[in-house]
Structure 1
Amino acid sequence: MAQQVSVKKVRKEIFEKELGYKDESNPFGDQKLTEKFTWKKKNEYLQAAGLYRPSSKDQDVSKMESKVREIHQVKKRRDEREVERSLLEAQRQDHDKEMHDEEYGEWLTKEEKFHLDNAKARTQLRIEQGRERPLDLVAKSLGIAGGEEFEEMTILDKPPHQLFVNLTLDEAEEVMDEISTFCRIDKDHLDFWK
């Protein structure tokens, strides 16, 4: 009986020290967690067959220590897998972000091209319909100077800088927006527009 008591004590100490479990507080809700589980029927059959050999205190302690080492190895492998899983998740998120950024960049480029093509088409349409704005006429003059031909070859009747005389602040801001659009549309005459 003294051997059993000391094995129980060692077992309780190992559970508490190595695993942090007590009979009163453990994640399994087991009030007899530190007690050794014995298959009584199995031992009875082995004893009846003459094969039963009770284990010594040293064997029991060695077996417990072996199990604790195994538990620590399993925990270590689980922690390593968790780290690997989080690294893989971070890599996947980085990859997804890169793909999203790349797609977003392409989308922005396409959107910018779409807006510039529309601005160019609006300018052409206003010129073809004879309702040009003064800056459209400047663009038309640059096109004529570059060899383009229009149905109506009318160009400005005064120098371009005189278009800005007597403009209100709102009109001047609108003209600046149009000029910045022409800077992006008309790369051939970029120096002029700047």
Structure 2
Amino acid sequence: MSWQDALRPATWRGLPFAVWHTDTQVSRRVAPHEYPYRDTAWVEDLGRGMRRLSVLGFLVGDDCLDQQDRMIEAAEREGPGELMHPTLGLRQVSLVNLATTSRHDLGRVVELSFQFLEAGERVYPEFGQDGLSSILAAADAADQAAAGDFAAQAGAALRQGAAAADQRGARCAAGRRPSRACRSTRATCSVRRAARCRAPTGW
């Protein structure tokens, strides 16, 4: 098969036209980063750039002006459309510009100059879970739980100590002559009772 046999009949939104020549521009999306005191730059690759297609064609025939009107109507239609490219095949593109030219020396011919951009699907951002926020929230909950456990344990220890001091004081009060240990115990009981009275009600 020769290269001419491999060429496809060109159409734009289903309207046929002949082709003089085509031009395809491809690129990469890059972001150069320059730094002080460095002669070279780091070029960050951000993916493939969109393709730009230029097509120079023509319409021919006694009804070339009617064909031109239909082509202009198709060009002004909203949204992307299908382009059958002679070498690239079927492409979904957005029309940037269409220029038509009528020349006296060419007679019943209308030249067409298309500028297309490769079209893609509209993609919306997706919601995702913020892992750092979840970790911080779990850490805060753990801190609050640990503080509550400490307060409960401290309150229980104070109540237990105060009860033991009260029991020892009662045993000392039952004797005739308070010993030095009993006097110390009574003082301790007074301190424990005062601490218990000043303790928060939540303990």
TM-score range, shorter chain: 0.3 to 0.5
Q: Which has the higher strand share?
A: 2
TM-score (normalizing by structure 1): 0.38
Greater RCO, 1 or 2 (C-alpha within 8 Å, sep 6+): 2
